[in-house]
A and B are shown apart, each in its own frame.
Chain A
Amino acid sequence: MSWENYMPYIYAIFAPFALALFGIIYGLVLKGFDRKLAAHMQWRVGPPLRQPFYDVLKLFEKENIVPKNAVPWIFNSAPIISMGALILALLYLPIGPFNPVLGNYGDLIVLLYILALPGLAMMLGGFSSSSPYSAVGAQREFIMILSYEFPLAIIIFTFAWKYSILYPNLKAFSLLTFVEHPLWQNVGILGFIGLLILLITMLVVTTGEVGRMPFDIADAGTEISGGALLEYTGKNLGLFYLADAVKIVVMGTLIITFFFPYNLSSLLLHYFSLPHYAWLTIDFLFYLLKLFIISFVVVTVMRVAFPRFRVDQVVKFYWGYATLASLIALSLIVLDTVGGV
């Protein structure tokens, strides 16, 4: 056998490592930009862009404390589960011009469950760490999961339904279908408005999913001093810090896959020719730019512009307004499809 027969195996072994490295590094870079830009919005100078890397290095130098009354194996495995689930989610997502590594083995429903895992891990860690503040934080994390999963599920099912009508021969829940056939061209004016509402809902859901400022009730510093992460120090806290950074990459990629799966190469291909790898590089850079813009809108602008909601307000917001908006968008898209046919 020639070495080319082994290529799929080599790819399958190295792709997860490469993806994990990409997710961590770009997540930290995005975090650095977030802190710098937020500082500029508040008329400050802000930390250097490398600051998140410094933070992680420092956290890995610090002492790792496991509380006396904690359940050590749950306490220590929670950050690893959180990190592992996010990297697993990256394997299912198309990264820019590259197809997902596990594209043929799972679909959006699997992804929906994987995306609930980091929150669940944080909850487990909080409950197992024996601090009352952590328990309160874990309960709030659970409330968060219950709140944002519902609108997210409606968004995903709206897309799947539309695709199953448009392309009956393709897999409706597959992310590959989403990437190859962007939805914006295939809908009328009503559907266009519906998609816009879905996009806004998705952005709001993402802010809740990454647990940032208006919806950071789970680790609200001034109320429950860190919540579920309260007892974590050293390496474990470092892993949660990294997971927090990767989360924005995962959620941003999900938004890109749903709403902006466009590549520059298909647009520019007619004007000049370049070798294949050059197009890949251009598309990848374009993907990074899209991620940066989404992170800026979802994380930086939101956290500078809005103060924290109360717990009941968050639940009301997601179950009331966000769910209502996504249902309206669903009915608009249904009307558009039925009226158009």
Chain B
Amino acid sequence: MVDMDKKVMARKMGRLIRSIWIFNWFNSCGVTELLPVVASIYDMERFGLIVVDNPKHADVLIVGGYQTEKSIKRVIRIYNQMPEPKAVMALGSCTITGGMYWDSYNTIKRLSDYIPVTIYVPGCPPRPEAVFQAVGMIFEHVNQLKKEVKGK
């Protein structure tokens, strides 16, 4: 039974990672280093990653940088609108510890206190290479899963 589940899971994940549609939520400086990822030098469309216009078509929500008390409400709302299965990628040190805004009165300190975060990408701001490393780690994870299923 467990094996069966794993097989279904591996097949599902294999399909999901091949085409990842991203919805961006940025309201801070964290965006500056993600723009090159979309543009022609790093070109994330090579891996089937594209940016979509609304959360209902998206698979991955990218939250960039610090969130204020007000904007985190919108993040939660956007997260709830996304169809399952979904994932959240948090960019920048600010989402992990508050970063340079650690003692600010109106920013949240840790994103995973509010929504489940799948993967954190550290950096202030993270380099495009770091974003790709995060994506690569997800691909690697799914490949491992597939290998396990095949090996049995």
The interface of chain A, by Cβ under 8 A from chain B, is 35, 39, 42-48, 51, 54-55, 57-58, 61-65, 221-222, 225-226, 229-234, 237
Contacts and interface: CB of A to CB of B under 8 A. Distances in A.
Nearest to B16: A58
Interface residues of B, number: 20
B44 to A, nearest CB: 10
Contact of B45 (A47, A61, A230, A231): A47
- Interface of chain B, helix or strand or loop or mixed? loop
B148 interface: no
A50 to B, nearest CB: 9
Q: Which 5 A-B pairs have the closest CB atoms?
A: A221-B53, A54-B18, A63-B83, A63-B84, A225-B54
Contacts of A58: 15-16, 18-19, 59
A58 B40 CA distance: 25
Nearest to B46: A45
B74 interface: no
B11 to A, nearest CB: 9
Given A64-B83, A65-B83, A225-B53, 6 more contacts: A47-B48, A48-B48, A54-B18, A57-B19, A222-B53, A226-B54
B69 to A, nearest CB: 25
A51 B48 contact: yes
B43 interface: yes
Contact of A51 (B19, B40, B54, B83): B19
A35 B19 CA distance: 14
Given A55-B19, A57-B15, A237 B57 contact: yes
B56 A230 contact: yes
Contacts of A44: 40, 43, 45-46
